[in-house]
Amino acid sequence: MNFPTKRRALITGASSGIGKATALAFAQAGVDVALVSRSQEKLETVAEAVRQAGVKAGVYPLDLAKVELVREGMSAIASDFGPIDILVNNAGMGYTGTLMDTPLADWQGVMDLNLTSVFQSIQGILPMMRQQGAGIIINVASVAAYRAFPGWCAYNVSKAGLVALSKTLAEEERGSGIRVTTICPGSVNTPIWDTETVQADFERSQMLTPEIVASSILQIALLPQGAVIEEITLMPSAGAL
């Protein structure tokens, strides 16, 4: 199913995992996509696949962990690519560690990327959406926002904060025509499990795939302007793992 009119989406964390799958799903639906991540090389690979679907793809390397650069960076991307109709805040990191074992610097790093960068991304794009009188912001949180998994303290808290941010934004922008959705997936088989900050041994074959999450994000974005899914929890049939 395609959008009735041409749309532009900006996706963070677009070089792999859920972000990459979402970019490809949007492309198949006829949506132009601005791709944001740290690695230009990986983004170029995704962009090439997106363009094969016949839509426009823009490549924008930006380190969202440098939160002081995010607001202006996102605003500049939108100015270059064109007015953004759909913002998918997907970039984030995993982190394992108990409350007592988490250094302050690590805690701040998780909060910066998983929460503060989203806050700054929204501030960079929101003025343009307000001018349009429409737009949808989809924030990728986690079931960890509601289920306090032991050994995942900073991650749990960052995702709970993201849910609260989404709910506040939704209430503040109802009169602006801007819709806000939070998607809370269970375990997803992405490269996050291979990163140095995550020490966990789960059966990844039973996790959700990035493509399943991406299809849900697309369906959320496909809703007509007069409707919104405020929050969705998407779980593997095997459970949270």
| Angle, CA 75 vertex, CA 69 and CA 76 arms, to 5° | 85
Active-site residue flag, 155: yes
Those residues with Cβ within 8 angstroms of residue 72's Cβ, 6 or more apart along the chain or in another chain: 124
- Nearest-angstrom CA–CA distance, 134 and 77: 18
Strand partners, 10: 34, 87
**Catalytic choice (60, 95, 146, 155):** 155
Closest by CA position to 115, among listed 155, 60, 69, 61: 155
Rounded distance between C-alpha atoms, residue 58 and residue 105, angstroms: 33
> Which two tokens mark 17?
């995992």
Can you tell me which residue has the tokens 């982190």?
A: 95
State the catalytic residues.
155
